């Protein structure tokens, strides 16, 4: 069992959200599904037999999705980062996760999917560029990145090279 696992609180569409995420990531699977019983109805107000939790895994990271009701909503204070080797991979995750999501994407590769979950689609080369010991290179990359919504590797490379 994974020592730490994120729990994502949904109103009543946890199963639908999990199916959406599993359809996007190539190395993904749905695990156990638990259902509400009679016990606790006065607290949870869920019909007996409806989905309570869904275990799932994306790229080796285990998650739990909970149908907990409308009490809590997702916000940008927590996000999941997807590290990508190529622009094609950046484009793939960006397009899939913004499908029916927040078309007003945030800057620096952040987006919000149709369930309100925040993601950052990050080219791995960006991390290396920002960590470069030559502060002129890293600062040029930062300046360009701050102007982007979806990150563009070619533009970041040009900034890094001083073009």
Query: What is the per-residue pLDDT across 28-84, written as a single tens digit (0 to 9) for each?
Result: 999 999 999 988 888 888 889 999 999 999 999 999 999 999 999 999 899 999 999
Helix (H) or strand (E) holding 80: strand 79-84
Taking only the tens place, the pLDDT of each residue in 114-148 is: 999 999 999 999 999 999 999 999 999 999 999 99
Same domain, 22 and 84: no
CATH, residue 128: 3.10.180.10
CA 154 vs. chain centroid, Å, equals 23
Count of domains for the chain:
2
Same domain, 62 and 89: no
Residue 1 lies inside a defined structural domain of this protein: no
Provide the token pair at 77.
């204070």
What global pTM score does this model have?
A: 0.91
């Amino acid at each position: 069992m994974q020592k730490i696992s994120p729990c994502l609180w949904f109103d009543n569409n946890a199963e639908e959200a999990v199916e959406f995420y599993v359809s996007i990531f190539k190395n993904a699977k749905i695990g156990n599904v638990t259902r509400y019983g009679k016990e606790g109805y006065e607290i949870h107000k869920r019909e007996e037999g409806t989905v309570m939790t869904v275990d799932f895994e994306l790229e080796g990271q285990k998650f739990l999705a909970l149908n907990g009701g409308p009490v809590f909503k997702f916000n940008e204070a927590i996000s999941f980062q997807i590290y990508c080797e190529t622009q094609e991979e950046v484009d793939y995750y960006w397009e899939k996760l913004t499908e029916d999501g927040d078309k007003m994407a945030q800057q620096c590769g952040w987006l919000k999917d149709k369930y309100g979950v925040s993601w950052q689609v990050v080219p791995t080369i960006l991390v290396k560029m920002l960590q470069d010991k030559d502060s002129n290179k890293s600062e040029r990359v930062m300046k360009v990145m701050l102007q982007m919504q979806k990150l563009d590797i070619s533009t970041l490379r040009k900034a890094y090279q001083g073009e």
